[in-house]
Amino acid sequence: MGMKLNTTAIALVLLLASAAEVSEGASFDVTKHGAKADGSDISQALLAAWKEACASPTPSSVLVPAGTYGLGQICFEGPCKAPINLIVEGTLKAPVDTKNFKADAGWVAFQNIDHFTLSGKGVFDGQGPAVWGKKCARSSYCGALPINLKFNFLTNSMVRDVTTKDSKQFHVNVLGCKNLSFYHFTVSAPEESLNTDGIHIGRSSGINITNTNIKTGDDCISIGDGSEQITIDQVTCGPGHGISVGSLGKYANEAPVVGIKVTGSTLTNTQNGIRVKTWPASPAGIASNMHFEDIIMNNVGNPILIDQEYCPYSQCKQQIPSRVKISDVTFKNIRGTSSTELAVKLVCSSGVPCQNVQLTDINLKFNGGAPTSICKNVKPILGGVQQPRSCSA
């Protein structure tokens, strides 16, 4: 009997094969368009090489060789006539001063491209330390800073081997994409970097994050509304705020979150572990079919957390329950150590209590004594080892 591959593995194999095909096609080197590895801005040279490659009727690649280059705000626009690969072997540095950047465009954007691959051993350096340190709470300052990498409306594409470093805001934002994979991807920023989510996903489907290392100052991975069939496997997270679904319910007409799977991952020294969060007083919404399995927690705060009373900075009406319906959630084989006494917190909405929440083989220790749990508006189904004993007398 032959081996049965799951759909994620099949998609990854096909994308890797597609990337190999592109790498063997026509190559457009930015140095042939005047780019120099002396720290000077190569935006125009890179766009010229991209334009030629994008117009190629056969698979092509754009190459940024080893070295250090400056790069201004840039958008790689499709559609292209054939599969295309941007190979970055050097270090690209963002401007420190971004006052002339177009609002909401990010630093480097890729949009409306099919069969695109971003690869190489290069680094996208956002030079975030120049702007970190200012307060973000109740302020639009952090939200106005550029995101390192924006992927908008890509299909059948892959990001592999490259590094995003010290973004001024989110490192990666995924919007409106379908069948996009991150493989052997690296996010690097210190714990004190503000609002620097590693990968944020919204309104996208078929997103796979595999064999990826994320160190940052906010959520390692955050999943927003309209996200469907998101697979996260073999991810190391920490420092950071953990892996989060949400926050959901802040805005009207948010699309459902359905089909989230996190497996085989390790979180170390993070503020939270696996977290599902929704706002009180929210419009109606749905978050369902979410599964978290085979996850190691190393000194993690709140390793297992559902919080439907999420209200940072007291900017909401906590007395009004969330209307986001959470259902069909499993936590299985979650083990390790909690940095907080409260290791399992399941606080669901009194308006729409959580349904079909299962905890199986939970083994979490707390160095300060016995770990505890709390449950509210939920009756979880328990199986196997339960440490702490969740929601039971």
Give, in order, the Cα–Cα distances in Å from 150 to each of 104, 159, 167, 252, 320: 10, 12, 12, 24, 35
- Strands 342-347 vs 372-376: parallel, antiparallel or unpaired: parallel
Helix (H, G, I), strand (E, B) or coil at 31: helix
The residue annotated as part of the active site, out of 197, 218, 225, 307, is 218
* H helices present in 156-248, as ranges: none
Lowest mean pLDDT across 164-168, 173-177, 311-315: 311-315
**Are 343 and 297 within 8 A, CB to CB?**
no
Report pTM: 0.93
Q: What angle do CA 126, 99, 185 make, to 5 degrees?
A: 20
The residue annotated as part of the active site, out of 171, 233, 241, 307, is 241
pLDDT at 233 over 60: yes
pLDDT of residue 202: 98
Q: How confident is the model at residue 369 (pLDDT cuts 50, 70, 90)?
A: very high
pLDDT of residue 352: 97
Q: How confident is the model at residue 392 (pLDDT cuts 50, 70, 90)?
A: low
pLDDT at 227 over 60: yes
Q: What angle do CA 328, 334, 336 make, to 5 degrees?
A: 155
Cα–Cα distance, 337 to 332 (Å, whole number): 15
Q: How confident is the model at residue 9 (pLDDT cuts 50, 70, 90)?
A: low
pLDDT at 219 over 70: yes
Question: Where do we find the tokens 């083990």?
Answer: 335
pLDDT tens readout for residues 99-149: 889 988 899 999 999 999 999 999 999 999 999 877 665 566 677 899 999
Cα–Cα distance, 382 to 393 (Å, whole number): 13
pLDDT of residue 5: 43
pLDDT at 378 over 60: yes
pLDDT of residue 133: 77
Residues 6+ apart with CB under 8 A from 255: 203, 225, 226
Cα–Cα distance, 200 to 178 (Å, whole number): 14
Has 184 been annotated as catalytic? no
pLDDT at 16 over 80: no
Cα–Cα distance, 326 to 275 (Å, whole number): 12
The first and second tokens of residue 115, run together, are 């069969």
Question: Where do we find the tokens 């954007």?
Answer: 109
pLDDT tens readout for residues 39-89: 999 999 999 999 999 999 999 999 999 999 999 999 999 999 999 999 999
Cα–Cα distance, 25 to 268 (Å, whole number): 41
Quick one: 268 exposed, middle or buried, by C-beta within 10 A (0-12, 13-18, 19+)? middle
Closest CA to 324 of 312, 310, 308: 308
pLDDT of residue 393: 38
pLDDT of residue 144: 83
pLDDT tens readout for residues 313-354: 777 888 899 999 999 999 999 999 999 999 999 999 999 999
pLDDT of residue 3: 38
pLDDT tens readout for residues 256-312: 999 999 999 999 999 999 999 999 999 999 999 999 999 999 999 999 999 999 988
Cα–Cα distance, 168 to 29 (Å, whole number): 28
Q: How confident is the model at residue 13 (pLDDT cuts 50, 70, 90)?
A: low
| All domains of the chain in start order, with CATH | 86-387 (2.160.20.10)
Has 241 been annotated as catalytic? yes
